[in-house]
Structure 1
């Protein structure tokens, strides 16, 4: 049976990997984004790939995904719901890379930018949700509540579109499996290292769709130690 970790345990995995196993955070992010891109390629997306990136490392994962899908020859567009100044560390490094590559990206995007982009999407497009990570709890705040609602409405109206969530559907509490007011209803979720508690409890299964556990290079000994505690 696959391991299932809580929010705090998932954070601890990353911390131990960086501090005790000397795995740089940028390597973990690269592995996460590259392997998500490989999972997306297995879906044989035919239309545009619209990647929605938020602040923090979930957005950074989205940048890595965008780079690898672009390199694979796919039509990629980024809507970045943050400014470049909002990023630091690994996410900032990957923002600089996609900027240098001149990938199509709208910085400091708004709900109106999303509405226009959704209206222009071909019928069989794929939307990547890299908005909010595992840290979300409480209520999703503006503008992300509007963004999530718009993506869900688009998915309902376009049965051939695919919504692909990165690590956790944005707005889903990864411990309780309950939406934080609103949450992305994904067709596919690529989660890192292990399943999250909220994927198998509460309303979680109705939001994650098909789940894939993505390897990011965490040593098995680390997980063995953590789950034995």
Structure 2
């Protein structure tokens, strides 16, 4: 039996969604973030040394990293579903977006989160103006330009096809959901990026997505 080690408000929501799309049976073991630090609890380290989510266990197999988990599940259980045929241009795009989501899209979003929180962190009062100045400078000169670059790129790519890998929904869309949802939660979509906003509406309307939300619990990226 597949077990998803599910951390609230995390990438593991994508794994639940994929399993619902594939119609597979699975169990959920839930973990809650520390309310003060928002970090995963130490209990996850007993499952995987990095102590992060998602992690999937299946018998003696323990697999981490969203992209690796998605590839494994689609290859083993997809039976031709949720991935374009090998050797096609769509398959190349599919593979690209599976890796792009974490390799290129997420770093500027994580930097945005880190630097926006820095001025609010506990520190001596005399350091606060310095930290705020550094944070504002990095956000203005690097982080925000990078976010705009990547979001405009995604918007342009969705102008070429309905979904990221082509005209058919695929697991690449599942993988891309987290960075686009994270950007949307920070108000980075709006009227300037209507194709990304419409794509989010399409994927959120999928019955499997809704079932995954019901099973995964509150998902604050959508609030």
Task: State the structure with more CA Rg.
Answer: 2
Task: Pick 1 or 2: higher relative contact order, CA cutoff 8 A, min separation 6.
Answer: 2
The structure where strand makes up a greater share of residues is 1
Q: Say which structure is richer in helix.
A: 2
Report the TM-score when normalising by structure 1.
Answer: 0.36
